[in-house]
Amino acid sequence: MKKNILIALLLVMLLTACSSGAASTVEETPSLTATEPAPTNTPEPTLTPTPDYPVEGIGPTNYPANVNSLTGLEVADAATLAERVVAVKIENLPREHRPQWGLSAADLVYEYYTEFGSTRFVALYHGNAPVKVGPVRSARFFDIHVVQSYKAVFLFGSAYSAVYSRMWRSDISPRLVVEGSSTYPALHREEQDGENMLFADLTQLPAALTKVGIDNSQQDISGMFFRKTLDVSGYPATQLTVRFSSAIYNRWDYDSAAGSYVRSVDQANADSAASETYAVLTDRANGEAISADNVVILFVPYQYYVKNATEEVMEVTMLGSGDALIARDGQIFPAFWKREKSDSMLTLVDADGNAFPLKPGNTWFEVVGTSSEKVQDGNSWRITHAIP
Report d(CA 34, CA 14) in Å as an integer. Answer: 9
Radius of gyration (C-alpha) of the chain in whole angstroms: 20
Query: Do 224 and 347 form a contact (C-beta atoms < 8 A)?
Result: yes
DSSP 8-state class, residue 334? E
Q: Which residues contact 10 (CB under 8 A, 6 or more apart)?
A: 39, 234, 235, 334
- 67-212: CATH architecture: 3-Layer(bba) Sandwich (3.50)
* DSSP class per residue in 102-144: SGGG-SEEEEEE-STT-EEEEEEESS---S-BB-B--B-HHHH
- DSSP alpha helices (H): ranges in the chain? 2-15, 141-150, 161-169, 205-212
- pTM of full prediction above 0.85: yes
DSSP 8-state class, residue 88? E
Domain residues of the chain, as ranges? 2-42+228-344+354-384, 67-212
Kindly give the confidence (pLDDT) of every residue in the chain, 388 residues in length, as a single tens digit, with 9 standing for 90 and above: 444 434 444 443 443 433 333 333 333 443 334 334 444 444 443 334 445 899 999 999 999 999 999 999 999 999 999 999 999 999 999 999 999 999 999 999 999 999 999 999 999 999 999 999 999 999 999 999 999 999 999 999 999 999 999 999 999 999 999 999 999 999 999 999 899 999 999 999 999 999 999 999 999 999 999 999 998 899 999 999 999 999 999 999 999 999 999 999 999 999 999 999 999 999 999 999 999 999 999 999 999 999 999 999 999 999 999 999 999 999 999 999 999 999 999 999 999 999 999 999 999 999 999 999 999 999 999 999 999 8
